[in-house]
């Protein structure tokens, strides 16, 4: 993916004008911005960035790249902040092999030293079985059979 392409977070901006600057070290100014940049990092397999933006007390020792999951859509359902805590509820649609799924999570964030970090979340995963004439889960607005279900 090049920085001139649409940002994976769904903002409508290019990657260069959106999440790439956070991946290169700029501090995200809100929990939602951090969530969007972390989603883009999952899409791009930027595991170092994911670990760096995890709060120290809950950061995993390692985070191996995930070559099997293709993240296709992010929907922010709710977000906010109060003092040095924040939250984002989101829905992320993914494809693993030929199986579709949705990860929904209520994530918590904390601001430390002027920077936001992902603290933890309560994820739920639901499997999708889109019908041929159903809307495509990727959000294109086309029917599944004419989009991701083609071929």
Q: Tell the residue number behind the tokens 């972390």, with chain if given.
A: 38
Residue of 86, 96, 71, 81 lying closest to 10 (CA atoms): 71
Residue 114 has pLDDT above 80, yes or no: yes
Q: Annotate 10-64 with three-state secondary structure.
A: CCCCECCCCCHHHHCCCCCCCHHHHHHHHHHHHHHCCHHHHHHCECCCCCCCCCC
Phi, psi for 114 (deg, rounded to 5): 80, 0
Global pTM? 0.92
Tell me the per-residue pLDDT of 73-98, one tens digit each, with 9 for 90 and over. Answer: 999 999 999 999 999 999 999 999 88
d(CA 129, CA 150): 15
């Amino acid at each position: 993916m090049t920085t001139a392409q649409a940002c994976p977070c769904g903002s409508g901006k290019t990657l260069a004008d959106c999440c790439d600057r956070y991946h290169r070290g700029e501090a995200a100014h809100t929990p939602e911005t951090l969530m969007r940049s972390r989603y883009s990092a999952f899409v791009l397999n930027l595991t170092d960035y994911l670990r760096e933006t995890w709060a120290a007390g809950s950061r995993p020792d390692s985070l191996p790249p995930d070559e099997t999951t293709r993240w296709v859509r992010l929907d922010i359902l709710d977000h906010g902040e109060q003092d040095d805590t924040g939250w984002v509820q989101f829905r992320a649609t993914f494809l693993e092999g030929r199986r579709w799924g949705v990860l929904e999570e209520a994530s918590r964030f904390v601001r430390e030293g002027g920077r936001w970090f992902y603290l933890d979340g309560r994820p739920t995963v639901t499997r999708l079985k889109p019908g041929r004439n159903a809307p495509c889960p990727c959000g294109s607005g086309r029917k599944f059979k004419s989009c991701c279900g083609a071929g």
